[in-house]
């Protein structure tokens, strides 16, 4: 059984709620970090609900960053992000694995190098965004695949998430989620076929 007591403060005693306005400017606003949400699926390309949710959040006035690490085809890169709904910034790597066939990547070391550099540039951009506090929601799509391919360092992502400064949620997606991240997550959603 839960019991509650009545408010013991007298409504007639306004000294209790008075705030010295001279000291008010000395207080710093504390912003609590949002949750870490992980969406995992046995196959790639199953996160359309997250993308539609990001559009909905942007339409409601929240500043959203959607980063797709392994998708390409539009040659965006960090400097050519797409803005939707006035509040959604959608960024893809300027070079990605999806733009080439696997034989082409294996046979051409320059292509593989450009892809890795492009994904690393994207990750460095994301780190700044996670640490800046300038977004209400950040989605890192297929970041675990970039970790699995040794493009992004797992410990670097863990450290960045631990030191993030964002009032909203950070959403991470992927197929094979390392246990360290499952233990960090506030919410884990498994999408099934």
In this structure, is residue 18 part of a structural domain?
A: no
In a domain, 89, yes or no: yes
- Phi, psi for residue 185 in degrees, rounded to 5: -70, 145
Q: Cα–Cα distance between 185 and 173 in angstroms, integer? A: 12
End-to-end CA distance of the chain: 43
**pLDDT computed for residue 64 by the predictor:** 95
Q: In the structure encoding, which two tokens stand for residue 9, read together? A: 């403060």
Which structural domain range is residue 119 located in? 31-190
CB atoms within 10 A of CB 133: 14
Q: What ranges in 60-167 are assigned the alpha helix state H?
A: 102-107, 109-132, 143-148, 154-162
Those residues whose C-beta lies under 8 Å from the C-beta of residue 56, and which sit 6 or more positions away, are none
Residue 95: inside a domain = yes
- Residue 148 domain flag: yes
DSSP at 98: G
Question: Structural domain tally of the chain?
Answer: 1
One digit per residue, the tens of pLDDT, for the chain of length 193 reads 333 333 333 444 444 444 444 544 444 444 457 899 999 888 776 677 888 888 898 989 999 999 999 887 666 888 888 888 889 999 988 887 777 778 888 888 888 898 899 999 999 999 999 998 889 999 999 999 899 989 999 999 999 999 998 778 999 998 889 999 999 999 998 887 6
Asked if residue 71 is part of any domain, the answer here is yes
**Model confidence, pTM:** 0.77
Q: Is residue 11 part of a domain?
A: no
Return d(Cα 151, Cα 115) in angstroms, integer: 9
| Residues contacting residue 70 through CB under 8 Å, at least 6 positions apart | 44, 93, 96, 97, 98, 119, 141, 142, 145, 146
Q: Tell the residue number behind the tokens 């990547």, with chain if given.
A: 105
The answer to whether residue 42 is domain-embedded is yes
- Give dist(CA 38, CA 178) in Å, integer: 11
Q: What is the CATH number of the domain that holds 81?
A: 3.40.50.300
């Amino acid at each position: 059984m839960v019991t509650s007591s009545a408010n013991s403060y007298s409504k007639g005693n306004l000294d209790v709620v008075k705030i010295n306005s001279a000291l008010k400017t000395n207080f710093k606003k504390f912003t609590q970090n949002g949750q870490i949400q992980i969406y995992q699926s046995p196959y790639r390309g199953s996160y359309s609900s997250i993308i539609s949710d990001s559009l909905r959040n942007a339409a409601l006035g929240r500043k959203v960053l959607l980063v797709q690490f392994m998708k390409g085809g539009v040659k965006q890169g960090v400097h050519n992000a797409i803005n939707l709904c006035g509040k959604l910034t959608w960024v893809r790597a300027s070079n990605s694995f999806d733009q080439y066939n696997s034989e082409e990547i294996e046979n051409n070391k320059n292509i593989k190098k450009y892809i890795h550099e492009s994904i690393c540039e994207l990750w460095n951009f994301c780190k700044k965004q996670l640490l800046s506090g300038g977004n209400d929601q950040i989605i890192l799509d297929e970041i675990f695949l970039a970790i699995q391919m040794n493009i992004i360092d797992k410990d670097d992502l863990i450290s960045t998430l631990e030191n993030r400064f964002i009032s909203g949620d950070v959403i991470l997606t992927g197929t094979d989620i390392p246990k360290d991240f499952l233990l960090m997550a506030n919410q884990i959603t498994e999408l099934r076929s």
